Chains A and B, each alone.
Chain A
Amino acid sequence: MPKRTDIKSILIIGSGPIVIGQGCEFDYSGAQACKVLRQEGYRVILINSNPATIMTDPEMADATYIEPITPEYIEAIIAKERPDAILPTMGGQTALNAAMKLNELGILEKYGVELIGAKPDAIKRAEDREEFLATMTAIGLEMARGGFVKTTDEAMQLIDLVGFPAIIRPSFTLGGTGGGIAWNLEEFRDIVQKGLDASPVTQVLVEESVIGWKEFELEVMRDMADNVVIICSIENFDPMGVHTGDSITVAPAQTLSDKEYQKMRDAAIKVIRAIGVDTGGSNIQFAVNPADGRMLVIEMNPRVSRSSALASKATGFPIAKIAAKLAVGYSLDEIPNDITKLTPSCFEPTIDYCVVKIPRWDFEKFKGIEATSSQLGVQMKSVGEVMAFGRTFKEAFQKAIRSLEQSRYGLGSDGKDEFEIDEMSDVEKIRTMEIIRERLGQRRSDMIFTIRYAMKLGMSREQIFDITKIDPWFLNQLEQIVRREGELRQAAALV
């Protein structure tokens, strides 16, 4: 399909200020979209409240508005510029939320502006938990077991289905206050009651816990002709329970057989079609039970996401750029591949290397909450990330640690250790082991170094897995690095 000629001007919504949980990756995607759409001859109008971005540079758009990303300001811009369409999928959640608000307020209808990339009903299906669950059930995909309840009695009826530990999330409370994890009936009853009290609509979500399960993501693209391709598979080093933005992630997925990967691929294709994202990229997250392979859909982002940036760099497939072209009507086979120039973009990249992303935290900037804030959870705390390539996981991993610029030169062996285990007496080792065991159980940001100490203290892979649920394949990779360190130390002693 050729590009659309019924639209002449497009408004792109940026992602606003850079905050923790939403990095500068959306500046990159927005800037790409501006460039591509201008090249295609469209008049590009941009709104972003953050002047410290590349996309707000004067030459990027035909008209740039550095204004708050609120319905009022956007409406004023629409009234003045009269764009034919809005592309809301390049500016992260901020842009998507703004577009949904414009739709709800009838502003899109009033000015006859079309959302391109993702339509309001598709965005709603992806973002509203109940609608998403209903859609997944309709296409035969499983999500975590559970349901919404309004009384403790209803909750008690769900507990057999959900099992322990059970997750309780009150509806519509800020930051999930009043929720928690219950390990037994008594706690369950208690937390449900508190959750119901905290919820303005007296409703809680009771859900099976998938903490410790393996976490995967697929980056998917779809065009107007309904062609769907998977750009990249990503496996999280950290299991479910740590926010993806705070997880070490690896591309491609390392521990899935073809049968399991294809099952996930089929599911991802079904999801993007059922949710109805017309064109562009989406990110779909899955949890897999390491004990029996049971696969659950966790969530979907119907837009360019943090992981799209990672997938683009990892594979060389420019997701934001292609997504912008798909939004104006091109199909994947009409867009040339950026790398080969000769073949079309309608393919699935395959890579002969391993990519490792490691987040970077800056806890010293959060004064007063230092001690607990280095513990990771469902809320993202990292302020940036590094990514490294290698022909092996070990190579990429070591390069990534160096790139963090936190004066570590790899997994230890750099004279920067907190514990000098090789120098310790047996008594000191026992004492240190207690500290290390405790730290392994707290999802701290220095987990990889803690694992190294644990290994040096003689803990087995099985023992570390039991506490951390980090896949034994990844643990063995670290073990190989630690073992090589030992060999080098011994060799040096021989000289």
Chain B
Amino acid sequence: MKKQARLVLENGVVFHGAAFGATGKDRTGGEVVFTTSITGYQEILTDPSYAGQIVTMTNPLIGNYGANNDDLESRKPFVSGFIIRELAEEYSNWRSTESISSFLSENNILAIEGIDTRKLVRILRSQGALRGIVTTESVSDKAILDEVQKLPIMTGLDLTKGVTTSEAYEIAGTLANAPHVVVIDYGIKQNILRKLTAHGAKLTVMPSTVTYDEIKDRKPDGIFLSNGPGDPEAVTDGIETVKHLVEGKKYPIFGICLGNQLLSLALGGETYKLKFGHRGANHPVKNLETGKIEITSQNHGFCVNWDTMPDSCELTHLNLNDNTVEGFRHKELPIFAVQYHPEASPGPHESDYLFTQFMQTLA
């Protein structure tokens, strides 16, 4: 018999389903969001940008290819919870070593299946991302709803400190005279590190609270600002450090996702929260410099307000679904950033050229 579970949303809507993963856990709370990625659930679960969030898959059939030890984007899953329509009873794939349920169980993540995720996604699309709790407890909906109301809202939350590396560490380059990149880890996905090294860089990965002087001491050739969870405006020390880096005019800088937002804030721009965010592997983005369209992997709840950006910057990438900012460059300095995920994993690979572009700025 499967253990019963409920999802209670802050608007009072309750979904009944069955628990999987860490079924012994009483409850888990967070911001309920959805992703339209058909594949890549293990990469999604381990993407630190999902910290504080309960992720819903719009693809109804999940767990079909099990879990393995290679498709991890960080040391463990950082999602607060996981919501799906139907969990595969058996998995089948030559690379899989265990089921997704046992993977979640080992990592103490409570998940729920068997709910009408289509209805849930419709609610999230019309009302925006909502706070919610997944619970296996037999207490009243009302009692759980009271707990949901006490959860923090995403706006104003700095979640980077919970996911960044505690110590700086180095990743050797493959070439003798590889350019040296300092990576500020706000919750970085492993595939970004793999891409940077594959493109020939050697890396020093530093915690999110790193200062300008600490970076300077490492004598880098360039700086990379990573993706990460939460509200970018709340990452005040990060914004401060990036401001220094920009004003120092010393280093080429490349930012992805939260890195893009921190760079915008440091340059004097503002960010705002999107209604239900962009999460999926099928977002069309137009490269305004080439006119070409890229199908991109995305995961962000906040966005840069282009009207607030200084004239020193120009828009380079635009989301074709809602015309929001997907990337920009500085007109004079070797500084550029994108809101989406050129490292993919999960998602399409066609934006890989941005890593090449970054390497070219490192003299």
Contact = CB atoms under 8 A, between A and B. Distances in A.
Nearest to B295: A348
B39 A258 contact: yes
Interface string B108-120: 0000000001100
A350 B58 contact: yes
Nearest to B94: A293
Contact of A333 (B91, B92, B293): B293
B345 interface: yes
Given A255-B93, A258-B40, A347 B347 contact: no
Interface in A443-457: none
A257 B88 CA distance: 14
B59 interface: yes
Interface stretch (A50-58, A171-179, A468-476): A468-476
A352 B60 contact: yes
B292 A257 contact: no
Contacts of B295: 229-230, 347-348
Interface stretch (B143-151, B217-225, B262-270, B282-290): B282-290
Interface string B292-312: 110100000000000000000
A391 interface: yes
A258 B43 contact: yes
Contacts of A348: 281-282, 295, 348
B64 A254 contact: yes
User: Most chain-B CB neighbours within 10 Å: which of A226, A290, A333, A461?
Assistant: A333
Interface stretch (A32-40, A260-268, A306-314): A260-268
B60 A343 contact: no
Contact of B90 (A227, A265, A472): A472
A262 B118 contact: no
Nearest to B117: A352
A353 to B, nearest CB: 7
Nearest to B350: A269
Given A254-B61, A258-B40, A333-B284, A473 B88 contact: yes
Interface residues of B, number: 48
Contacts of B93: 255-257, 260
Given A262-B344, A473-B64, 9 more contacts: A225-B291, A233-B38, A256-B93, A262-B349, A346-B320, A350-B282, A352-B118, A471-B92, A476-B90
A449 to B, nearest CB: 21
Nearest to A340: B321
B345 A258 contact: yes
Contacts of B60: 352-354, 391-392
Contact of B71 (A259, A333, A351, A393): A259
A398 to B, nearest CB: 14
Nearest first, the 6 closest Cβ-Cβ pairs linking A and B are A258-B40, A258-B346, A473-B92, A258-B39, A476-B90, A348-B282
Interface in B323-354: 344-350
Nearest to A288: B94
B230 interface: no
Interface string A238-281: 00000000000000101111111110011001000000000000
A480 interface: yes
Of the listed residues A255, A258, A471, A473, the one surrounded by the most CB atoms of chain B closer than 10 A to its CB is: A258
Given A255-B93, A344-B320, A332 B293 contact: yes
Nearest to A229: B295
A349 interface: yes
B214 interface: no
A255 B321 contact: no
A414 interface: no
B281 to A, nearest CB: 8
Interface string B86-110: 1011111111000000000000000
Nearest to A332: B293
15 contacts: A254-B61, A255-B65, A257-B65, A260-B93, A262-B349, A265-B349, A333-B320, A347-B283, A349-B282, A350-B280, A352-B85, A391-B85, A392-B85, A472-B92, A473-B92
A255 to B, nearest CB: 5
A291 B117 contact: no
Nearest to A345: B284
Nearest to A390: B60
A335 to B, nearest CB: 12
Contacts of A256: 39, 65, 93
B121 interface: yes
Contacts of A265: 348-349
B43 to A, nearest CB: 6
A350 B40 contact: no
Given A257-B93, A291-B94, A473-B88, A393 B61 contact: yes
A353 B86 CA distance: 11
Interface in A210-242: 225-227, 229-230, 233
A227 B43 CA distance: 26
B342 to A, nearest CB: 13
Contacts of A230: 295
Contacts of B58: 350, 352
B118 A290 contact: no
B363 to A, nearest CB: 31
A461 B89 CA distance: 13
Interface in B55-83: 58-61, 64-65, 68, 70-71
Given A259-B70, A261-B39, A392 B293 contact: no
A255 B64 CA distance: 6
Contacts of A254: 61, 64
B86 A392 contact: yes
Contacts of A289: 94
Contacts of B70: 259
B211 interface: no
Contacts of A347: 282-284, 295, 320-321
A292 interface: yes
B95 A473 contact: no
A334 to B, nearest CB: 11
A227 B61 contact: no
Given A348-B295, A480-B89, A343 B39 contact: no
Contacts of A227: 292-293
Nearest to B39: A258
B271 to A, nearest CB: 23
A226 B95 CA distance: 34
Contacts of B283: 347
Contacts of A391: 60, 85-86, 118
B36 interface: yes
**Which of A290, A352, A476 has the most chain B CB atoms closer than 10 A to its own CB?**
A352
A225 B64 CA distance: 36
A307 B348 CA distance: 22
Given A332-B293, A347-B295, A472-B92, A354 B39 contact: no
A368 B361 CA distance: 74
A472 B94 CA distance: 11
A333 B294 CA distance: 11
Contacts of A259: 70-71, 95, 345
Contacts of A225: 291-292
